[in-house]
Amino acid sequence: MKFGVVTFPGSNCDHDMIYTLETIMGHEIVHLWHKDGSIPKVDAIALPGGFTYGDYLRCGAIAKHSPIMAEVIKFANQNRPVFGICNGFQILCESGLLPGVLLQNTNQRFICSNQYIVADNPKTAFTAHAGSKPLNIPIAHSEGHYYAPDEMLEELEDNGQVLFRYCDKNGKITDEANPNGSVNHIAGVCNKNKNVYGMMPHPERAADHELGNTDGLFILESFIKWISN
């Protein structure tokens, strides 16, 4: 499978994503630059984490104007698979490809830790083969508080667009296990057509046996199995 991985000024997880997809999982990578005006033939596009353009204005607010994003939007509107992790999730929300917005963490601090999440809807690319047990996935963000207005939130829930929720190690969803104050404990969502995906936790940082945690592979392998069918 061939993945296009986008690098913006300020991306700092692009090589993490490339290493995981290419070296760990054995897939082909096409390097995409933020100024590119076209996308070569790829099977899926990944927007990695980082601090694009220094997170000025709002996270992802400047990146959405990069030339490559016009092509990513065209790609997604053709019902082709796109996913964003952390800052990539923020960019997808700012670009209108995903609903909602990421706000400052309720504790107003940068959080870098491992965090358990649990799949919500088992019928999406990220969750279909990820299992039902809690997954221990790293988070690293200051603006990870997912928010959507009540009407949008109700629609998300009704349509099964919630991918993961923050939980404790036993899978229990509690306020104490919600690290950033996200509404309804939401850690990731998809669009209505279920071809665009975003999540704040970093599955690519939990994919190497050398790190002692490969829970992230459940998510990435699920995505690959889904789009390969």
111-119 vs 162-166, strand pairing mode? antiparallel
CA gap 219, 224 in Å, rounded: 9
CA gap 128, 121 in Å, rounded: 8
Closest by CA to 94, choosing from 135, 132, 143, is: 143
| 204 is an active site residue | yes
- Locate tokens 């996308």: which residue? 39
Phi, psi angles (nearest 5°) of residue 159: -85, 0
Which one from 13, 59, 86, 190 is the annotated catalytic residue?
Answer: 86
| 141 is an active site residue | no
| 167 is an active site residue | no
Detail the DSSP E strand segments found in 120-170.
Answer: 135-141, 145-147, 162-166
Residue 34: Cβ within 10 Å count: 18
CA gap 166, 68 in Å, rounded: 31
Tell me the catalytic residues: 86, 202, 204
